[in-house]
Amino acid sequence: MKATYKKHILNFKRPSGTSRGVLTQKETWFIILDQDGKTGIGECGILRGLSIDDRPDYKEKLKWTCNNIHLGLDNLLNELVEFPSIQFGLEMAFKSLENNNPFELFPSAFTEGKESIPINGLIWMGTPEFMSAQIKDKINQGFSCIKLKIGAIDFETEMSLLKSIRKEFFASDIELRVDANGAFKPEEALEKLKKLSELQLHSIEQPIKQGQIENMANLCEQTPLPIALDEELIGVFDVTEKANLLQTIKPQYIILKPSFIGGWSGTEQWINLANKQTIGWWITSALESNIGLNAIAQWTFTLNNTMPQGLGTGALFTNNFDSPLQVKNGTLRYDNNLAWNLNL
Q: Which positions are annotated as active-site residues?
A: 149, 257
Distance CA 25, CA 23 (A): 6
Q: How far apart are CA 298 and CA 106, in angstroms?
A: 6
Amino acid found at 262:
G
Helix (H, G, I), strand (E, B) or coil at 101: coil
Residues 290 and 316 sit within 8 Å (Cβ to Cβ): no
181 touches 20 (CB < 8 A): yes
DSSP type of residue 48:
T
Give the DSSP H or E segment for 333.
Answer: strand 331-334
Question: 3-class secondary structure for 245-303?
Answer: HHHHHCCCEEEECHHHHCHHHHHHHHHHHHHHCCCEEEEECCCCCHHHHHHHHHHHHHC
Spatial contact of 35 and 2, defined as CB atoms under 8 Å apart: yes
319 to 114, 296, 344: CA distances (angstroms): 28, 20, 11
Distance of alpha carbon 69 from alpha carbon 22, whole angstroms: 36
